[in-house]
Amino acid sequence: MSAADASESVETIAGIDVGGTFTDLILIGGPGGGVRIAKTPTTPGNQADGVLAALKAAGVSPSALDLIVHGTTTTTNAVLERRLARTGLITTAGFRDVLELGRRTRPQPYGMTGQFRPVIPRDLRLEVAERMDATGEALVPLDEAGVEAAARRLMEMGCESLVIHFLHAYANPEHEIRAAEIAARIWPNGHITMGHALLSESREFERGATAAVNASVQPILERYLARLQAELAAQGYARDVLVMNGNGGMVSARLAGREAAKTVMSGPASGVMAAAYTGRRAGCPNLITYDMGGTSSDVSLIRGAEPAVSHEIEIEYAMPIHVPMVDVRTIGAGGGSIVSVDEGGLIRVGPESAGAMPGPICFGKGGTEPTISDANLLLGRLNPGRLLSVEDAAPVEAVRAAFARVGAGLGLDAEGAAEAAIRVANAKMAGAIRMVSISMGHDPRDFALFAFGGAGPLHAAALARELAIPRVLIPARPGITNALGCAVADLRHDFVRTVNRPLDAVEMGAVHAILAEQTAAGRAMVVQNGAALRRVREVHTADMQFVGQTHLIRVALPDAAPTRETLQALFEAAYFARFKVELPTIRANLVNLNTSVIGERAEVDLAALTAVTPGATLGDALDHRRPVRFGADWHDTPVYARARLPVDALIPGPAIVEQMDTTIVIPPGDRAEGAADGNLFIHVGAA
């Protein structure tokens, strides 16, 4: 898309992402175009302070902004740290323990211990008489007086939020709706979540847990957003803040609270949205994204510039949040993963992590266990003088001593042990990436590895080689990818309707009616938000299986009026692609019909992300040379400054490219190539 395109944005948009450590801001558009970036410390007490500080650091007044799109970890932290609003539950008689019993599991396959704390404690879970059966027929009428009494009791017990969750409400929500009306008459605020409201599908534990999470973060999110909105308004920003959801779309801050559970996984989603956007513009619609952080790494799959969306994500042991979310999988290896030698004399990386405190040894905050970041430092891949978030000079000698201890058990010197640790970590991370991407039936040669986060580009080329992915795409600003995701994300509303019938018994008119209804509802919601839209489009999918199976395969539908034959054929093709199995004697089951309505915002030109002062030749970008170890050998390796790279730079490996927010490693045998939008490709094995 060229800068002259009529659909190009002329708005001034601020994407602001609040992460664990930093609040990142990217400002796009406005008079004269260009891009401004700011990185300020996150303020855990009230994230709004950090947001305002970031705006100030970027030198922009809120009054000059057309749109603020915000990714927040307010709800994520509230859930993970269990700082939740006091929430009560009213449920079907006989079933108050559903939220505590879960699905009868244990946290790990081996080890007979585990702990589980239900989101709503047992004394705040009350029962009333009522019962639907699986067809939606009322077997026991709703005890309306009982609902009122229960609501009063929960108020007296100090509950701020209320969940009403009845068995089979997905089949017939009448009792839930009636109970919510009764409770609303006496409940002092609007914080009432009905079980069927967020996602109307069967499975009482997952639906109830999702509703419980939603209710217990709703007041927290609303308070935060109200405060942020007020402070921005005081500085002259009059429009609604838009909030990033876990599905990779945005909603108005006024609507976000009602479905607060949808924001719990919004951080990773915005990064994936930026990847999809960047990849589409760069001609790489198929990506595996890799965001390496301190304690873990996030992986996702993008095909045809559409991130995979799932509504079956568990954010920790036995805590499912079943709302549509970008399918981001977390793997337990990051820069802080600790390197050790086990009793059998084998080198191990993780699962223990040095975390943010004390962190790796090289952070100089008291860490004593060697980590992957330390190994990168010792091998010359990280520049000891330029570690972000580090005030004191990195104690390289301490790092060396720690790896010497590791190496002693392996017959290796310190550097050899560090090199071994990187190899093992790469093998482990590549395996975990395979499990969530390639082993799901995809050919790695069709993909590019999109590496971001502070540490992703350090390992990306090695991982791509391990995975047989031919090239790596490193965006212009890997460290602020989430903020970019906020700035470019579309408006989006998702709908899921459970059908769960054999395809041959489904009335196709009803299928078309459901898809049309979902489309209409979504279109109505999308236009409410007030952002400038280029067009509104729908994505229709069906979740299907063979009759008799339990797992689902998601099938993309060509339009909102597919025929029965089309559905059967699309499903069989998808099944064969995934499993290499054909079952011509068995018919399909239609489980869910889904529609996503997407309000596409005006195209944001990422060309402004390119280097500010591009050099004429590669030599102009050379910062210094330093020895870097690859395999068993040390190479005298050029280190380039990314800000000075020529637009069409060709960089043979070995080389290092440094920028404020990351370090890119180009191993021997690979070749990097500059491209539009400030992207850098690494072609594996192309040198």
Partner 1 sequence: MIDPVTLTVIEAALQQVCDEMDLAFSRAAFSPIIAEANDRSDGIYSPVDGSLIAQGAGGLPVFVGTMQFSTRCLIERIREGLTAAPEPGDIYIVNDPYLGGTHLMDVRFAMPFWRGGQIFCWLSNTGHWPDIGGAVPGGFSASATAVEQEGLRLPPVKLFKRGAMDTEIYQIICSNIRVAEQRIGDVKAQAAALMVGEDGLTRLMDRYGDDTVREAISELRARAAARMRAEIAAIPEGTYRSVAHVDSDGVVDAPLEIRLTVTKAGERLTFDFAGSSPPCQGPMNSVLATTLSSVYLAMRHIFPDVPISAGAFEPLEVITPAGTFLDAHYPRPVSGCAAEVSQRIAEAVFAALVQAIPDRVTAAPAGTSGNFALGGHDPARGRGFVMYQLSGGGYGGARGLDGLTNGCSTIGISKAPPVEIMEQQFPVLYHRYGLREGSGGAGRWRGGFGLDYEIELRRGEARASFVMDHGRFGPQGALGGQDGAPNMVRVIRDGEVHIPPHLSKEQDIPLRPGDRVRVGTPGGGGYGDPMARDPRAVAEDVRLGYYTPDEARALFGVVTGTGGLDAKATSDLRATLRDAAETQQSGATMTRIKDKAPTHRS
Cβ distance to partner 1 smaller for residue 117 or 535 = 117
Q: Return the residue matching tokens 């079943």.
A: 322
Q: Is 98 in the site for partner 1 (CB under 8 A)?
A: yes
In the complex, the smallest distance separating the C-beta of residue 202 from partner 1, rounded to whole angstroms, is 4
Say whether residue 31 binds partner 1 (CB under 8 A): no
The pair phi, psi for residue 462, each rounded to 5°, is: -65, -40
Closest to 92 (Cα-Cα) out of 173, 170, 195, 165: 165
By CB under 8 A, tell whether 106 contacts partner 1.
yes
We find the least distance from the C-beta atom of residue 29 to partner 1, in angstroms, to be 44
- Judged by CB under 8 A, the residue of 61, 63, 235, 439 near partner 1 is 439
314 binds partner 1 (CB under 8 A): no
140 versus 390: smaller Cβ distance to partner 1:
140
CB nearer to partner 1: pick between 112 and 616: 112
By rule CB under 8 A, what count of residues binds partner 1? Answer: 67
Work out how close the CB of 671 gets to partner 1 at its nearest, in angstroms, rounded to a whole number. 22
Contact residue for partner 1 among 108, 368, 563, 613 (CB under 8 A): 108
Reduce the DSSP state of residue 663 to 3 states and report it: strand
Among 33, 36, 53, 116, the residue binding partner 1 under the rule CB under 8 A is: 116
Give one DSSP letter per residue of 270-336, joined into a string: HHHHHHHHHHHHTT---EEEEEE-SS-EEEEEEETTEE-EES-EEEETTEEE-S-EE--EEES--TT
Quote the least distance from Cβ 464 to partner 1, whole Å: 15
Q: Decide if residue 109 touches partner 1 (CB under 8 A).
A: yes
Q: For partner 1, give the closer residue by CB, 52 or 323.
A: 323
| From candidates 104, 185, 391, 558, binder to partner 1 by CB under 8 A | 104
Category of 271 on φ-ψ map: left (φ > 0), alpha (ψ -120 to 50) or beta = alpha
- Out of 579, 613, 625, 633, which residue is the one contacting partner 1 (CB under 8 A)? 579
If one asks whether residue 617 binds partner 1 (CB under 8 A), the answer comes out as no
Our finding on whether 428 is near partner 1 (CB under 8 A) is yes
- Residue 372, CA distances (Å) to 284, 319, 350, 390, 459 in order: 30, 30, 9, 16, 10
What is the C-alpha separation between 540 and 670, in angstroms, rounded? 40
Please identify which residue in 573, 586, 612, 647 interacts with partner 1, judged by CB under 8 A: 586
DSSP helix/strand/coil, 232: helix
Only one of the segments 307-315, 534-542, 544-552, 667-675 lies at the binding site for partner 1 (rule: CB under 8 A); that segment is 544-552
**CA distances to 97, 120, 156, 217, 223 from 85, in Å:** 20, 10, 15, 6, 11
Relative to beta strand 306-307, strand 680-683 is unpaired
Q: Is 389 in the site for partner 1 (CB under 8 A)?
A: no
Alpha-carbon distances, residue 236 vs 44, 46, 70, 95, 242 (angstroms) = 25, 20, 17, 50, 16
- Which of 20, 285, 384, 431 binds partner 1 (CB under 8 A)? It is 431
Amino acid at position 26, single letter: I
Cα 475 from Cα 595, distance rounded (Å):
30
Q: By C-beta, is 126 or 180 nearer to partner 1?
A: 126
Please, are residues 68 and 62 in contact by the beta-carbon 8 Å criterion?
A: yes
Which of 680, 666, 531 has its CA nearest to residue 604?
531
The residue range among 338-346, 483-491, 522-530, 648-656 that interacts with partner 1, by the rule CB under 8 A, is: 338-346
Residue 94 near partner 1 by CB under 8 A: yes
Q: Give residues in contact with partner 1 (CB under 8 A).
A: 94-98, 100-106, 108-116, 121-123, 133-134, 139, 167-168, 170, 202-206, 342-348, 410-411, 420, 423-424, 427-428, 431, 434-435, 439, 500, 546-551, 578-581, 583, 585-586
